[in-house]
Chains A and B, each alone.
Chain A
Amino acid sequence: MSMYKKKIITGMMGGLLAFSLAACGGGNAPTGSSAASGGGTSTGSSGGKGTTIELAISKSSQDSIFVQQNLLDAFEKETGIKVNLQLLPAEQTATVLQTKLAVDETPDIVQYNLASATTDLNLERNFEILDNEAWASRLLNKEVLSAYGHIYSFQLSQDTGMQGVVYNKDMFKELGIEIPTDFDEFLAACEKIKAAGITPVFMPFKDNWAANIWPGAAFADYAEKNEPTLFDDINAGKKKWSDVPAFADILQQQYEVYEKGYTNGDILSDSYDMAVGKFLNKEVAMMFMGDWLIQNVADKDPKMNLGLFPIPYAKDSKLGASPLGGQLFIPKKAKHMAEAKQFLDYVARKDVAQKIVDEQKFVSNFNDVKTPELPTWKQEIVDNYITPKKTVLTVDAHMLVDRSELYRLLQDEFAGGTDAKGVLSAWDEKFAQLMQDKGAEGF
Chain B
Amino acid sequence: MKISRKLYSYYLVLPALLIYCIFFVAPAVAGLFYSFTDWRLDRVGLKFIGWNNFERIFTDKTLLLAIKNTLIFAVVTVIGKNLLGLALAIGLNMRLKTRNILRAVFYSPSILSVLVISIVFTPMLRSDGAINRIFESVGLGFLAQNWLTNPHVVIWTVAAIAIWQHAGFQMAIYLAGLQSISKDYYEAATIDGAGAWTSFRSITLPLLLPALNINLMLTLIGGLKVFSEVFVLTGGGPGNASQVVGTIILRSFGEGSWGLGTAVNTLLFAAVTIIAIPLLIFMRRKEVSEQ
**Inside 8 A of A416's CB, which chain B residues have their CB?**
150-151
Partner of B149, one of A5, A95, A268, A438: A268
**Inside 8 A of A206's CB, which chain B residues have their CB?**
149
A408 and B240 in contact (CB under 8 A), knowing A36-B44, A266-B128?
A: yes
Residues 73-132 of A contacting B (Cβ, < 8 Å): 94-95, 98, 102, 120, 122, 125
From residue A433, how far is it (CB to closest CB) to chain B in Å?
A: 8
**Inside 8 A of A409's CB, which chain B residues have their CB?**
239
For residue B253, CB closer than 8 A to chain A, the reply is: yes
From residue A112, how far is it (CB to closest CB) to chain B in Å?
A: 15
From residue B243, how far is it (CB to closest CB) to chain A in Å?
A: 9
Closest to A414 in B: B238
**Inside 8 A of A367's CB, which chain B residues have their CB?**
none
**Inside 8 A of A208's CB, which chain B residues have their CB?**
237
For residue A35, CB closer than 8 A to chain B, the reply is: yes
| Beta-carbon contact of A269 and B254 below 8 Å | no
**Inside 8 A of B134's CB, which chain A residues have their CB?**
none
Partner of B241, one of A269, A401, A412, A434: A412
Partner of B122, one of A9, A36, A269, A437: A269
A415 and B44 in contact (CB under 8 A), knowing A16-B18, A266-B126, A404-B254?
A: no
Tell me the complex Cα distance, A121–B240, Å. Answer: 25
For residue B255, CB closer than 8 A to chain A, the reply is: yes
**Inside 8 A of A417's CB, which chain B residues have their CB?**
151, 238-239, 241
| Beta-carbon contact of B26 and A21 below 8 Å | yes
A25 and B33 in contact (CB under 8 A), knowing A1-B10, A268-B146, A408-B237?
A: yes
For residue B109, CB closer than 8 A to chain A, the reply is: no
A402 and B42 in contact (CB under 8 A), knowing A24-B27, A269-B122?
A: no
| Beta-carbon contact of B150 and A415 below 8 Å | yes
Tell me the complex Cα distance, A102–B256, Å. Answer: 11
For residue A439, CB closer than 8 A to chain B, the reply is: yes
Tell me the complex Cα distance, A32–B240, Å. Answer: 35
| Beta-carbon contact of B10 and A9 below 8 Å | yes
Tell me the complex Cα distance, A120–B42, Å. Answer: 9
Tell me the complex Cα distance, A439–B254, Å. Answer: 17
Tell me the complex Cα distance, A16–B17, Å. Answer: 10
A31 and B44 in contact (CB under 8 A), knowing A412-B240, A414-B238?
A: yes
From residue B227, how far is it (CB to closest CB) to chain A in Å?
A: 14
How would residues 247 to 263 of chain B score, 1 for a CB under 8 Å from any chain A CB and 0 otherwise? 00001011111000000
| Beta-carbon contact of A404 and B251 below 8 Å | yes
Tell me the complex Cα distance, A328–B186, Å. Answer: 75
| Beta-carbon contact of B239 and A17 below 8 Å | no
A411 and B238 in contact (CB under 8 A), knowing A122-B42, A269-B148, A438-B42?
A: yes
**Inside 8 A of A434's CB, which chain B residues have their CB?**
255
For residue B130, CB closer than 8 A to chain A, the reply is: no
| Beta-carbon contact of B239 and A24 below 8 Å | no
| Beta-carbon contact of A13 and B238 below 8 Å | no
Partner of A437, one of B9, B40, B146, B241: B40
For residue A418, CB closer than 8 A to chain B, the reply is: yes
**Inside 8 A of B27's CB, which chain A residues have their CB?**
24
For residue A137, CB closer than 8 A to chain B, the reply is: no
The count of A-to-B residue pairs whose CB atoms sit within 8 angstroms is 113
**Inside 8 A of A1's CB, which chain B residues have their CB?**
9-10
For residue B181, CB closer than 8 A to chain A, the reply is: no
Partner of B238, one of A25, A28, A415, A438: A415
For residue B194, CB closer than 8 A to chain A, the reply is: no
From residue B239, how far is it (CB to closest CB) to chain A in Å?
A: 3
| Beta-carbon contact of B21 and A415 below 8 Å | no
For residue B43, CB closer than 8 A to chain A, the reply is: yes
Tell me the complex Cα distance, A265–B126, Å. Answer: 10
**Inside 8 A of B126's CB, which chain A residues have their CB?**
266, 269
**Inside 8 A of B14's CB, which chain A residues have their CB?**
12
For residue A379, CB closer than 8 A to chain B, the reply is: no
Closest to A35 in B: B44
For residue A360, CB closer than 8 A to chain B, the reply is: no
| Beta-carbon contact of A95 and B253 below 8 Å | yes
For residue A20, CB closer than 8 A to chain B, the reply is: yes
| Beta-carbon contact of A98 and B149 below 8 Å | no
**Inside 8 A of B128's CB, which chain A residues have their CB?**
265-266
Tell me the complex Cα distance, A265–B149, Å. Answer: 12
Tell me the complex Cα distance, A98–B43, Å. Answer: 12
From residue B105, how far is it (CB to closest CB) to chain A in Å?
A: 29
Question: Looking at B43, B150, B237, B253, which has the most chain A CB atoms within 10 Å of its CB?
Answer: B237
From residue A24, how far is it (CB to closest CB) to chain B in Å?
A: 5
| Beta-carbon contact of B151 and A415 below 8 Å | yes
Residues 96-133 of B contacting A (Cβ, < 8 Å): 122, 126-128
How would residues 22 to 49 of chain A score, 1 for a CB under 8 Å from any chain B CB and 0 otherwise? 0111001001100110000000000000
Question: Looking at A411, A413, A414, which has the most chain B CB atoms within 10 Å of its CB?
Answer: A411
From residue A141, how far is it (CB to closest CB) to chain B in Å?
A: 28
A269 and B146 in contact (CB under 8 A), knowing A416-B151, A417-B241, A438-B42?
A: yes
How would residues 131 to 160 of chain B score, 1 for a CB under 8 Å from any chain A CB and 0 otherwise? 000000000000000101111000000000
A28 and B237 in contact (CB under 8 A), knowing A16-B18, A21-B30, A417-B151?
A: no
**Inside 8 A of A401's CB, which chain B residues have their CB?**
255
A269 and B127 in contact (CB under 8 A), knowing A412-B238, A417-B241?
A: yes
**Inside 8 A of B45's CB, which chain A residues have their CB?**
28, 32
For residue B46, CB closer than 8 A to chain A, the reply is: yes
From residue B224, how far is it (CB to closest CB) to chain A in Å?
A: 23
A-B contact pairs, 16 of them (CB 8 A): A13-B21, A16-B18, A21-B26, A28-B46, A102-B41, A265-B127, A266-B146, A268-B237, A269-B146, A269-B148, A411-B239, A415-B241, A416-B150, A417-B241, A418-B239, A437-B40
Which are the 6 A-B pairs with shortest beta-carbon distances?
A412-B239, A415-B238, A268-B149, A20-B26, A122-B42, A24-B30
Task: List residues of A whose CB falls within 8 A of some B CB.
Answer: 1, 5-6, 9, 12-13, 16-17, 20-21, 23-25, 28, 31-32, 35-36, 94-95, 98, 102, 120, 122, 125, 206, 208, 265-266, 268-269, 401-402, 404-405, 408-409, 411-418, 434, 437-439
Taking A405-B255, A437-B255 as known contacts, 7 extra A-B pairs with beta carbons closer than 8 A to each other, sorted by chain A number, are A20-B22, A24-B27, A98-B41, A412-B240, A415-B239, A417-B238, A438-B42
